């Protein structure tokens, strides 16, 4: 099968550097333009099915690319939940929050944000659903629209980098990655390929 991975278009929360894992922000004007460029790119690519996180920014991006085709909503493909840090910037944080954030950045596998999702639970949630999508679609061409963290988890899982490789991947908005997946091997076709 061939798997295409797309990060949602830009949101105003991206511009403001806010934590917004499950905060349901939609794409902004630039995000709409990015989604339209992706739509143009995928007009030339055969897709058998389209999956998306159920959050607005991913779903809206997927619907623009899909041009009326069915988009299967997948809550398991959501971003990491930031708990008490949702919809906050660095400037909004207390000193205790800043210390906790520094600790989390060093030991993200074991530290959990206040009332947030444990990293390894997030990683398992995303990769188990990805494995299900792969099992359900052998021999097909599939598009998945999700979030930077979720896509990093998918790429770590697919390439064998595992959770420790999480920070080695960064999915750019307005770009896509493509991977050939079979039972015997995985071939990375491209990472962050520009739509136009």
CATH of the domain at 142: 3.40.50.1240
Radius of gyration for the chain, computed over Cα atoms and rounded to the nearest angstrom: 16
What pTM, to 2 d.p., does this model score?
0.95
Helices 119-136 and 148-159: crossing angle, nearest 10°? 70
CA dist., res. 67 & res. 65, Å (int): 6
Average the pLDDT over 158-171 and give the result: 94
E strands, the chain, are 2-7, 49-52, 72-73, 141-146, 175-181, 186-194
Cα 187 to its chain centre, rounded Å, is 20
- The percent of residues above 90 in pLDDT, for the chain, comes to 80
Q: Give 158's contacts (C-beta < 8 A, 6+ positions apart).
A: 3, 130, 179, 181, 186
CA dist., res. 148 & res. 61, Å (int): 14
CA dist., res. 73 & res. 53, Å (int): 6
Average the pLDDT over 170-190 and give the result: 93
pLDDT digit string, tens, across residues 124-149: 999 999 999 999 999 999 999 999 99
Count of the separate structural domains present in the chain: 1
E strands, 61-137, are 72-73
Burial of 119 (0-12, 13-18, 19+ CB in 10 A): buried
Q: What's residue 16's pLDDT? A: 87
Q: Which residues are catalytic?
A: 8, 79
Domain of 111 in residue numbering reads as 2-194
- The percent of residues above 70 in pLDDT, for the chain, comes to 99
Average the pLDDT over 59-84 and give the result: 97
Q: What's residue 118's pLDDT? A: 94
């Amino acid at each position: 099968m061939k798997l295409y991975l797309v990060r949602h278009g830009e949101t105003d929360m991206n511009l403001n550097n806010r934590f917004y894992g499950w905060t349901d922000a939609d794409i902004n004007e630039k995000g709409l333009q990015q989604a339209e460029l992706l739509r143009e790119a995928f007009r030339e690519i055969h897709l058998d099915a389209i999956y998306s996180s159920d959050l607005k920014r991913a779903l809206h991006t997927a619907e623009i690319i899909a041009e009326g085709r069915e988009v299967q909503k997948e809550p398991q493909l959501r971003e990491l939940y930031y708990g008490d840090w949702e919809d906050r910037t660095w400037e909004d944080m207390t000193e205790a929050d800043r210390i906790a954030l520094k600790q989390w950045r060093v030991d993200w596998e074991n530290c959990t944000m206040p009332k947030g999702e444990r990293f390894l639970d997030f990683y398992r949630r995303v990769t188990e659903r990805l494995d299900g999508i792969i099992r359900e679609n052998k021999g097909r061409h599939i598009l998945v629209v999700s979030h930077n963290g979720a896509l990093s988890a998918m790429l770590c899982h697919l390439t064998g980098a595992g959770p420790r490789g999480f920070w080695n991947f960064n999915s750019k908005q307005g770009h896509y990655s493509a991977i050939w997946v079979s039972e015997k091997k995985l071939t990375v076709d491209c990472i962050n390929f520009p739509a136009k």
